[in-house]
């Protein structure tokens, strides 16, 4: 069996803040759905070390960006 390469996944502080904001918002609207969505997000992030091509950044219609000053 061929060993697949492992990638290091780096989640920026900005991305963490955005994800936390989404989870907090959802908790206000639907507390019962919050745990499920949070777990799905974390599982998807953790699985990127094996298949980073699953969520290609440059193919997305909307590309979030950071404004630096």
CA distance 64 to 57: 9
Mean predicted confidence (pLDDT) in 17-45: 90
Give the confidence band of 68 by pLDDT, cuts at 50, 70, 90: very low
Task: List, in order, residues 6 or more apart from 65 with CB less than 8 Å away.
Answer: none
pLDDT at 61: 60
Whether 15 shows a pLDDT value over 50: the answer reads yes
Which three-class secondary structure state does DSSP give residue 13? Answer: helix
pTM comes to 0.59
Give the confidence band of 9 by pLDDT, cuts at 50, 70, 90: confident
**Residue written as token pair 């936390």:** 20
Q: Where are the domains of the chain?
A: 1-48
pLDDT at 21: 92
Burial of 38 (0-12, 13-18, 19+ CB in 10 A): middle
């Amino acid at each position: 069996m061929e060993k697949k390469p492992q990638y290091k996944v780096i989640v920026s502080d900005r991305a963490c803040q955005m994800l936390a904001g989404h989870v907090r918002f959802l908790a206000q609207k639907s507390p019962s759905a919050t745990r499920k969505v949070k777990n799905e997000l974390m599982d998807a992030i953790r699985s990127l070390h094996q298949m980073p091509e699953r969520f290609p950044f440059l193919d997305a219609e909307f590309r979030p960006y950071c404004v630096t000053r």
